[in-house]
Amino acid sequence: MVFYLPYPFQTSSYILAALWIILTNISEVPSAFGTIISGACTPKAVEGGFIGVLIKTVRRPVFSSEAGIR
């Protein structure tokens, strides 16, 4: 049997935990944003985004019918 917390309590605990982690590591936040921005502007990121769009584009028509890929 799996125990599930009520949604408002679970949501509040996740938000408080996330805030606690961010606030205890507040000195690392600017460098984290810098890493995200610099990593998003690389050729490898563009390649990954392009492949993701291709996969999404192919999945939509393939799984829109009952036949799919056989």
In the chain, where does DSSP find H-type helix? 7-24, 29-40, 43-62
Q: 65 pLDDT band (50/70/90 cuts)?
A: low
Residue 67 has pLDDT above 70, yes or no: no
Residue 70 has pLDDT above 60, yes or no: no
Q: Which amino acid is at 30?
A: P
DSSP 52: H
List, for residues 6-61, the tens digit of each pLDDT value: 778 888 899 999 999 999 999 999 999 999 999 998 999 999 999 999 988 887 77
